[in-house]
Chains A and B, each alone.
Chain A
Amino acid sequence: MIFVTVGTTAFDSLIEKVDSIAYQIDDKIICQIADGKYVPRHCEYFRFKSTVEQEFAGADLVICHGGAGTLFYLLELNKRIVSVPNLERKDKHQTDLIDTLSAENYIVSCYELSELRTIVVLSKDLCLKKYQNSECHIAEEIIKFIEA
């Protein structure tokens, strides 16, 4: 199964593209579309759910926006990810993280929606690196600062 998720911000151009290539892809596709205006006709969809863990668990591939919350969560689940920056957002910051993570070979990036089908098909055979959770001491540093 391929799970497509846009997070909290609508990403109509991605959903529309996925819908248009759904018939060329063998896997079942489920889309999470937030409050998007475009409603898929060729795949299952829903807007929001309090938890998408079930969809993530069942997915062989996740196509997602470049939101860090989604990306890091999926990397920790060791999922195969194709990430498309959502340039419909008011802040166009998503390319920063996608660039860095794809350069490190943790994820596959897709900057042109016209290439999405090819990238999805090819991504199945790519060998990606496993993301290692870095040790985080931010809370400790904050506590040290407060108690100093």
Chain B
Amino acid sequence: MKKILFVAGSGGHTAQMSRLLRNMGDNYDIKLMLEHTDNLGREKFAPRYEMHCAIPIRGKNESIVMTLFRIMLNLLQSLRILIETNPEYIITTGPGLGIPICIFGKIAGKKIIVIESWSRTKTRSFVGKLLYPFANLFFVQWPQMLEKYPKAKFAGRLA
């Protein structure tokens, strides 16, 4: 079975991942990476998937020291998750906490698949902008976004 790591984060990112997972079938060894505070997401997926948690890289109104601490911790968590799960593919619906693991994954030769958020109808997200140049497959969920990401694919919306 091919191993895939799904990076979902929390809130709307998890909702999109949940809809995608329904259509992925049972032929893959799927593991999830979520934000450590996403209790609703964890409850929902616990019976079915192995889950790994990480800390988000941005907090609310935090000092630069705290942000640096978050990033350092996330880097360590991402490395550990990457080694433990050792996926061939990393699929992300675009939470910030997934940036480091996608970069580490790319360096380690994994294939990176990025789905730009369904909330992006006109402007690019920070994560989208950053991961677009090296994603192996990149989806947008609104056709007009193909102007912003010429190499992306539009294959409908997860809603």
Report which A residues bind B (CB closer than 8 A): 7-9, 48, 50, 66-70, 72-73, 75-76, 90-91, 93-94, 96-97, 99-100, 133-143, 145-146
Contact = CB atoms under 8 A, between A and B. Distances in A.
A67 B159 contact: no
B120 interface: yes
A99 B144 CA distance: 14
B65 to A, nearest CB: 17
Given A67-B12, A141-B139, A146-B89, A135 B156 contact: yes
A68 B142 contact: no
Candidate in B22, B123, B155, B157 with the most chain A CB atoms within 10 angstroms: B155
Given A90-B58, A146-B89, A138 B115 contact: yes
Given A138-B115, A142-B113, A76 B123 contact: no
- DSSP class of A's interface residues: helix, strand, loop or mixed? helix
Contact of A138 (B11, B142, B158): B158
B63 interface: no
B159 A96 contact: no
Interface residues of B, number: 43
Contact of A142 (B24, B117, B119): B24
Contacts, number: 104
Contact of B118 (A72, A76, A142, A146): A72
B151 interface: no
Contacts of B2: 146
Given A50-B43, A67-B11, A67-B12, A138 B155 contact: yes
B137 A141 contact: yes
A100 B24 CA distance: 29
B20 A133 contact: no
Contacts of B111: 145-146
A93 B121 CA distance: 10
Given A67-B119, A96-B119, A138-B156, A8 B11 contact: yes
A10 to B, nearest CB: 9
Which 10 residue pairs spanning A and B have beta carbons closest together?
A72-B159, A139-B23, A136-B156, A69-B15, A68-B119, A69-B12, A100-B121, A137-B155, A97-B119, A8-B11
A140 B139 CA distance: 12
A8 B56 CA distance: 14
A136 B20 CA distance: 9
* Residue from A9, A91, A100, A138 having most chain B Cβ neighbours under 10 A: A138
Nearest to B4: A146
Nearest to A72: B159
A146 B91 CA distance: 11
